[in-house]
Amino acid sequence: MKVSIRVPATVANIGPGFDCLGMALPLYNTITIEETVLPGSGVEINVIASEDMNNELSLEHIPMDENSIVYKAVELLYNSIGQTPSELKITIHSEIPIAKGLGSSASVIVGGLIAANELLGKPADEAALLSIATEVEGHPDNVTPAIIGGLVFSSIEEDGSILYRKLDWPEEWVLTLCVPETELATEIARSVLPSEVPMADAVYNAQRMAMFVQAVNTKDADLMKFALKDRLHQPYRMKLVPGLEKVMNNLKHEDSVLGVVLSGAGPSVLVISKKNDLDRIKNLIKDSWNELNINVQLYNFNVEENGATIVTE
């Protein structure tokens, strides 16, 4: 028996929502798990990269043994019901770029978990899957929208459970995802963050997070322009993402642009705008990176409202 799960890419943080805001995008990894019949064969992990990614996927970053995060997630699920994984073949069809701030690790964790859960007869409910995925990933901002879909804010509670709620993203607001050719490991992006922040910065982000929820719920574009600002992570990561400051400066006077934010830890950047002037916005984005001699791929997306789904053959 084998099971395939398609999992969307995710954008985390989205300005003020550090480690709690996440959004699913229509770009996918598909994770397939099958139980093999060869005793003693252990775990076999294969990664197949999409040709569309032009070999930019850093497959060398993915362990192909029990040290892989997808196997760790599967093992935790098996252990939670008192079992150990049998001989397994795990195949990852990868379309989500790695080390780009698009939730590639969350996607394989979620895909592996849900596939294994199907193989085992669904012993884990949504709450258990969210908790296990967050334990492996470290925070819920990517794994929650990967499982649930849509725009989600989430938190880890004291008992390890994940509390979340979905928000309805306004259809008239366009997402332009900018994926530069540079890479940025999450560990490096985390290392530049301070262990403590000034109270004024914490208050600033709390204010912006409240504005964000209100702006989304009321489709208030003017309020969203204030809401997408941040003092907890983007100022510290700016120097690690060539082009981010230039894009922000080049777009800050465009009335149709609501904001420019890092996608997760970067280096991908998300530009949120109204639907008018989209061609002009894309040209300004391209020019910003061209001035730095950095190639960038641009995608216009709507929010992916569906999370991880079973692929039927």
271-298 pLDDT tens trace: 999 988 888 999 999 999 988 898 999 9
Q: List pLDDT tens digits, range 292-304.
A: 898 999 999 999 9
DSSP-based three-state secondary structure for 275: coil
Give the chain's mean pLDDT: 90
- Say what the pLDDT of residue 212 is: 98
Q: d(Cα 1, Cα 212) in Å, to the nearest integer?
A: 45
- Say what the pLDDT of residue 313 is: 60
Q: What percent of the chain has pLDDT over 90?
A: 71
pLDDT interval class at 38 (50, 70, 90):
low
Q: d(Cα 118, Cα 124) in Å, to the nearest integer?
A: 9
Q: List pLDDT tens digits, range 226-250.
A: 999 999 999 999 989 988 899 999 9
Q: What percent of the chain has pLDDT over 70?
A: 93
All domains of the chain, ordered by start, with CATH? Answer: 2-167+303-311 (3.30.230.10), 173-301 (3.30.70.890)
Say if residues 162 and 156 touch (Cβ distance below 8 Å): yes
Between strands 162-167 and 88-94, the pairing is unpaired
Between strands 88-94 and 43-49, the pairing is parallel
Instruction: Choose between 253 and 60: higher pLDDT.
Output: 253
Structure tokens of 5?
């799960």
pLDDT interval class at 54 (50, 70, 90):
very low
Q: d(Cα 108, Cα 267) in Å, to the nearest integer?
A: 20
How far separated are the first and last CA of the chain, in Å rounded? Answer: 13
- Say what the pLDDT of residue 60 is: 47
- Say what the pLDDT of residue 139 is: 92
- Say what the pLDDT of residue 66 is: 67
Q: Supply φ then ψ for residue 280, to 5 degrees.
A: -60, -40
Q: d(Cα 95, Cα 97) in Å, to the nearest integer?
A: 6
Beta bridge partners of 33: 3, 90
Vertex 179 angle, CA 101 and 142, to 5°: 25
DSSP 234: H
- Say what the pLDDT of residue 55 is: 44
- Say what the pLDDT of residue 99 is: 85
pTM as predicted: 0.91
pLDDT interval class at 52 (50, 70, 90):
low
Residue 64 has pLDDT above 80, yes or no: no
